[in-house]
Amino acid sequence: MHVLFIIDPLPQLKAYKDSSVAMMRALVARGHTLSVAQQGDLFIEGGTVSARSQPIELLAQADLHEAGWWRESGPATDMPLETFGAVLMRKDPPFDMEYVYSTHLLEYAQAQGAKVFNGGAAIRNHPEKLAITEVAGMTAPTLVSRDMARIKAFHAEHGDVIVKPLDGMGGTGIFRLQHNDPNRNAILETLTDNGTRTIMAQRYIPEIIKGDKRVLIIGGEPVPFVLARIPLAGETRGNLAAGGRGVAQPLSPRERELALAVAARTAGRGLLLIGLDVIGDYITEINVTSPTCFVEITEQTGYDVADRFAQALESAVA
């Protein structure tokens, strides 16, 4: 099978810990071939969705901490997306208008026969913070608004809340507002751009000290291990990009319950891979753009998450 990755520029990836690279390596180990394209390489001409794609091969003995882990294996060509065995959308956020346009192109390509994961409409229709609305009974008290008076009332009701932008990633723009926080107004004015930008507020979950758990769902089934991203001392964010420490742990009964509920709710929507963020007993985000943590779980447990994904992809396109 020829698999196209729509991805950020390869030289920018930290190959030794990148989940997309782990996917590539697992697919190659199973006999598949690879091409890559960037978001800007997608185009429609004559009604057909295509991409300027570059075939690559992975170097078997390469040091993944160094740049030379791949090489071009032929000339770049324009190919309709439907001619690939599978197309994997692995472009990282920001989820800006260019990203939205890409999801439309991917959706059109699927109508032409392309097999895209996660699907264009699926990505667009499941904004990663707002998607928890579908499972509100499994989330901490949450408010989505740009009305500062409403947000302040929510803060007054719960006393200790997390506020964050809807389009952030890696822990950027996340603040904890405790009771009588002297910076509350300034933080809310900044996050909402003086009431013109919608944000999310959630009741603070003290179990964050035990980790912000990444629970992976592949092909509708949860991976049996999670990555607990434990914050640094004095920090409220567990994100690895914010300095959190990743510790792999067995999937708990509650985490499995949450994962199966989300899998059942989203079945048939074109979401081959989902990454839940779980703190304590609550889902805080449902990630569908480019969920990560494959490598950390595999290295610490021996459970090959990327191979599990490759097998699920083979089944999905069969």
Write out the catalytic residue numbers.
Answer: 129, 164, 214, 229, 237, 277, 285, 287
Distance CA 81, CA 88 (A): 11
Largest CA distance in the chain: 62
| Cβ atoms within 10 Å of 1's Cβ, excluding its own | 17
Cα–Cα distance for residue pair 288/290, rounded to 1 Å: 6
Cα(106)–Cα(117) distance, integer angstroms: 9
What is the DSSP code string of 242-303? GTPEEEEEEPPHHHHHHHHHHHHHHTTSS-SEEEEEEETTEEEEEE-SS---HHHHHHHH--
Beta strand 2-6 with 33-37: parallel, antiparallel or unpaired?
parallel
228 sits in which H/E element: strand 225-230
CA distance from start to end of the chain: 11
Residues 6+ positions from 29 with CB-CB distance below 8 Å: 307, 310
- Tell me if residue 127 falls in helix, strand or coil: coil
Give residue 107's identity as a one-letter amino acid code. Answer: E
316 CA to centre of own chain: 19
Give Cα separations from 75 to 54, 72, 78 (angstroms): 7, 8, 10
